[in-house]
């Protein structure tokens, strides 16, 4: 897995965190005050990067978390067939297929540049240049 470890108290809204083995973008953070014998607790709500599902993480504020390494890359569309496009990475010349999101249908054509995100072995098309 392409993750690094960090502390829960370093999380901010808009950052990324792994919740239930799903890379998520943090949308809400709630923290409770420390008690007489315990530490402060944090409730972190995140939205999955690839599926858009909502996940919740409960941790002490000094607990360890996993932070996914999210890479934004550029590729070139080689061909389009149905709901998927064959993409080539111009730096490594790697070829792979990516599904075309509903909002980009009709925009993806052979020869155009594509912005995509790669995280934890998964890839997703973001936009067409």
Give per-residue pLDDT as tens, 55-111.
999 988 888 999 999 999 999 999 888 888 999 988 888 899 988 888 888 888 888
CATH assignment of 71-128, among 2.40.50.140, 3.90.1300.10, 2.60.120.10, 3.40.50.620: 2.40.50.140
Please write the tens of the pLDDT for every residue from 54-69: 999 998 888 899 999 9
Domains in the chain: boundaries: 3-68, 71-128
Rounded to whole angstroms, the Cα distance separating 86 from 46 reads: 30
Q: Is the pTM above the cut of 0.75? A: yes
Architecture of domain 3-68: Roll (2.30)
pLDDT (0 to 100) of residue 33: 83
**Are 21 and 65 in contact, with CB atoms under 8 Å apart?**
no
Residue 52: helix, strand or coil by DSSP? coil
């Amino acid at each position: 897995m392409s993750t690094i470890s960090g502390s829960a108290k370093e999380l901010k809204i808009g950052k990324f965190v792994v919740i239930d083995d799903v890379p998520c973008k943090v949308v809400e953070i709630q923290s409770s005050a420390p008690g007489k014998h315990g530490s402060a607790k944090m409730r972190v709500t995140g939205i999955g990067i690839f599926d858009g599902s909502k996940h919740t993480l409960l941790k002490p504020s000094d607990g360890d978390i996993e932070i996914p390494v999210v890479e934004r890359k550029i590729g070139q569309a080689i061909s389009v067939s149905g709901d998927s496009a064959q993409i080539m990475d111009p730096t490594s010349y790697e070829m792979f297929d990516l599904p075309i999101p509903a909002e980009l249908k009709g925009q993806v054509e052979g020869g155009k540049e594509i912005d995509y995100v790669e995280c934890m072995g998964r890839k997703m098309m973001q936009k067409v240049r």
